[in-house]
Amino acid sequence: MFKHIQNLFIAGLLATSLAACAGSGALDNAADGAAKADRDPYENFNRKMFAVEQSLDAYILKPVAKGYLYVPQPVRRAFRNFLNNLISPVTLANDLFQGEMARASTTALRLGINTVLGIGGLFDPATHFGLERHEEDFGQTLATYGVGPGPYLYIPMLGPSPPRDLFGWGFDWLFDPVTYTGSESLTGPIVRYTLDGVDARATNMGIIDEIERSSIDFYATVRSLYRQNRESEINNGVTNIDDLPDIDDLDDLDDF
């Protein structure tokens, strides 16, 4: 949930602005109501899992993240660069699976430059050379081959995890070098994922709290923004205006 919350928020603001310009391009209300159950058929279960995550966040993750903020900012930036570099082989593999050779070249160059010149990824000289970072995962790869997301699911500490993305997340472990660093294949990724979550929670502390304070229904807001952001990721950041909801529908969170 917390890894992409800032991107989710930005995507939500962008979608709202574009929807206002798009005017009446929303789905018919009757069709939208009929599709509501398909969007979140396990909503009762998901809301309970979301409540579990909120408790874990309140009593564990948020306090740890607050403590992490006392670490000097340059050190935190170097750690974030290191984590980003570690996940680059996963992105590279999925760039290739998707046939995105230009993006694969960028990822490979970034990995090589930051590993060597960036001292193991602690620094990010590749960005200064004009090689912008992006992330790809196997869930996105499956989507490019036409695999649907399946029913919306929320799993504590994993966040929104529809079957396609949950399967993809597991498959990505095969291409994650951290998987092979410990005596147990799950240990490395879990430790890295935990550290990544703490860093992301600390970095986005203010914006997450603001989204929660301003949301009528925090669960529905997260669900809506996740879907918008995920679609943007699958399309490599290209937003299809025709797919955006009408501004009036955005005000009714129960429709998401």
* Amino acid type, 100: E
pLDDT at position 51, please?
Answer: 96
pLDDT 10s digits, 75-121 = 999 999 999 999 999 999 999 999 999 999 999 999 999 999 999 99
Contact 152, 42 (CB under 8 A): yes
Neighbouring CB atoms inside 10 A of 192's CB total 18
12-36: average pLDDT? 37
Residue 28 predicted with pLDDT over 80 = no
At 200-237, the pLDDT tens digits run 999 989 888 899 999 999 999 999 999 999 999 999 86
**Lowest pLDDT segment from 29-33, 72-76, 110-114:** 29-33
Write 64-68 long-range contacts (CB < 8 A, 24+). 64/198, 64/201, 65/198, 65/201, 65/202, 65/205, 66/202, 66/205, 68/198, 68/199, 68/202
pLDDT per residue as tens digits for the range 180-189: 876 566 677 7
Q: What is the pLDDT of residues 156-191, one digit of tens each?
A: 888 899 999 999 988 898 888 888 876 566 677 788
Percentage of the chain lying above the pLDDT 70 cut: 75
pLDDT above 80 (res 48): yes
Cα–Cα distance for residue pair 2/160, rounded to 1 Å: 10
